[in-house]
Structure 1
Amino acid sequence: MHSEREKKLLTKFWVKGGVGAMFVGSGISVVLHGWGLRQASEDNWFWVSTGGFSLIMTGLRLIGDANRHRTMVDVLRELDQRKSPDQP
């Protein structure tokens, strides 16, 4: 059974992981759009590509946070098992 703290951490894991993955995908799309603007010799290609890289980096940070939350759940479970070794 999951404790209340584990449930909150797992919720943060899924939300941040999902949003982070969405940001990474969107960032790649924006960078590719900026590349297309550069090939067409548009003036604003640099700012579009910079925005895309910012989205990618934000997504990677959120995925890293999600990983931290999942690791905390695993640590809590390990600590619970150490407190009561007689339970399976």
Structure 2
Amino acid sequence: MQTPEEKKLLTKYWWFGGGGAMLLGSGLAVLLHGSKMKEANEDPWFWVSTGGFALIMSGLSFIGDANRFRTMVDVLRELDRREGLTKP
């Protein structure tokens, strides 16, 4: 049975993980588009590539936060398990 805290953390885990994966994938696509723009000698390639890199870094940050939320759920479950072992 999940506690309300665990449910809230798991919801954040899924939202941040999914959002991070979307940002990471979008950032890779934008970065590759900027690379093609550079090959074609188009003017704003630098800003497009910079935006793609920013999306990639944001996605990695969101994935890191998702990992933190999942770890917090595991810690709460372990603490509940240990508390259950000590009660008579």
Query: Which TM-score applies when normalising by structure 1?
Result: 0.96
Deviation at 1:14, TM superposition (A): 0.2
The superposition leaves residues 32-61 of structure 1 with CA deviations (integer Å, 9 ceiling, x where unpaired) of 000000000011000000000000000000
Question: Which residue of structure 1 aligns with residue 22 of structure 2?
Answer: 22
Deviation at 1:85, TM superposition (A): 1.5
Output the CA distance in 2 between the equivalents of 1:45 and 1:67.
33
Displaced runs of 4+ in structure 1, greater than 6 A?
Answer: none
1:2-21 aligned at under 5 Å gives the runs 2-21=2-21
Output the CA distance in 2 between the equivalents of 1:24 and 1:66.
14
Question: Which residue of structure 2 aligns with residue 75 of structure 1?
Answer: 75
Q: CA RMSD in A?
A: 1.2
Output the CA distance in 1 between the equivalents of 2:57 and 2:35.
18
Identity %: 65
SS in structure 2 of the partner of residue 84 of structure 1: helix
5+ unaligned residues in a row in structure 2: which ranges?
none
Question: Which residue of structure 2 aligns with residue 42 of structure 1?
Answer: 42
Output the CA distance in 2 between the equivalents of 1:79 and 1:7.
16
SS in structure 2 of the partner of residue 43 of structure 1: coil
SS in structure 2 of the partner of residue 50 of structure 1: helix
Deviation at 1:9, TM superposition (A): 0.1
Amino acid at match of 1:51: G
